[in-house]
Amino acid sequence: MPASVQQLLEAAYSRSTANDPGKLATDGELMPVLNRIYQTLYALKAVSAPEQHTAAANIVLAAGIGTLPTDMIDIRRIEGLGGVVAAGLKINVIPVEEKDRGWHLAPRMYRQGNSIISPVGTGDPAVSDTVKLFHLDAPATLSALATTLDVRYPVRFEELLVVELAMYLSTKDATRDAAEFGKLSTYRNMQLEAFFRLCGLSMTALQSPHGGMIIQTLQAVLASMSKSG
């Protein structure tokens, strides 16, 4: 069962007898810190294995414009649900700079900020159609002690969240032995390295000509993270 926010905070506090819950840091302070770290790690995991983190949503268009889910990580596919665009038919997502170009075949949509928009040309979704969006969705915000991690965030990576919080607590205490932070940092780097290696896209059962591109994107992100870690 996924850990709750309270369980993660308590695990971080227990890393050192010098941690004084409620004085060194409050739960209200640590929850946003935990959430920010969690959202970043989850996004990396979702990009590395998109097939495990894909969600679907029906988007109703108003004047040809549909609102994307809040904090969505990426669009994977859009398809019709009937109306002008037949159910299951892929809708091409095109660059906004090319929405007036003739070489993009209908049906077409383009993204503008947190919206997807139909050019409403021949064969494109109509102004009041509904389309189906496949996307990498962000997990729910960790906003209460009872909130649990998304079931798609593996238990094996919970330790990384705990040690990140423990490092945060260590930096708040000016009297803390610097060696403690060094030990935590070494342990965190080991956990982070394991996270990077285990988050690689599995091609065991996945059949896709896009697998190579997904792996290249992930490797670029992880290389950047590793240099700064």
Question: What is the model's pLDDT at position 214?
Answer: 53
Range of the domain at 147: 5-49+140-223
Identify whether residues 38 and 148 lie together within a single domain.
Answer: yes
| Residue 228 is assigned to a structural domain of this protein | no
For 122, list phi and psi in degrees, rounded to 5.
-60, 120
pLDDT (0 to 100) of residue 223? 59
**What pTM, to 2 d.p., does this model score?**
0.81
**Shared-domain flag, residues 64 and 165:** no
Say what the pLDDT of residue 29 is: 93
| Residue-level pLDDT at 17 | 80
Which of 136, 164, 182 corresponds to the end of one domain? 136
Distance of alpha carbon 91 from alpha carbon 133, whole angstroms: 10
Q: Do 43 and 113 share a structural domain?
A: no
Instruction: Identify any residues that bridge with 94 across adjacent strands, giving them in sequence order.
Output: 110
Whether residue 33 sits in one domain with residue 58? no
* 152 domain residue, yes or no: yes
Please give the Cα distance from 96 to 112 (Å, whole number).
7
Quote the number of domains for the chain. 2
Tokens 């609102």 appear where?
67
What local confidence, expressed as pLDDT, does residue 206 receive? 45
How do the pLDDT tens digits run along the chain, 229 residues long?
899 999 999 999 998 888 887 788 899 999 999 999 999 999 989 988 888 899 999 999 999 999 999 999 999 999 999 989 999 999 999 988 877 777 678 999 999 999 999 999 999 999 999 999 999 999 999 999 999 999 999 999 999 999 999 999 988 877 777 788 889 989 998 898 888 888 765 544 444 444 455 555 555 655 555 555 5
Among residues 136, 162, 177, the one where a domain terminates is 136
Q: Examine the domain organization and report whether 130 and 24 are in the same domain.
A: no
Do 84 and 30 belong together in one domain?
no
One domain, residues 159 and 186: yes
Q: Are residues 38 and 89 in the same domain?
A: no
Provide the token pair at 39. Answer: 């959202």
Task: Name the domain boundary from 104, 136, 168.
Answer: 136
* pLDDT computed for residue 222 by the predictor: 52
Q: Is residue 178 part of a domain?
A: yes
Residue 144 lies in a domain: yes
Q: Do 113 and 87 share a structural domain?
A: yes
Residues 216 and 145 in one domain: yes
Residues 37 and 150 in one domain: yes
Confidence (pLDDT) at 196: 81
Beta 115-117 vs 65-67: how paired, if at all? Answer: antiparallel
Which of 140, 147, 188 minimizes the C-alpha distance to 2? 147
Shared-domain flag, residues 127 and 62: yes
Which region holds residue 117: left if phi is over 0, alpha if psi is between -120 and 50, else beta?
A: beta
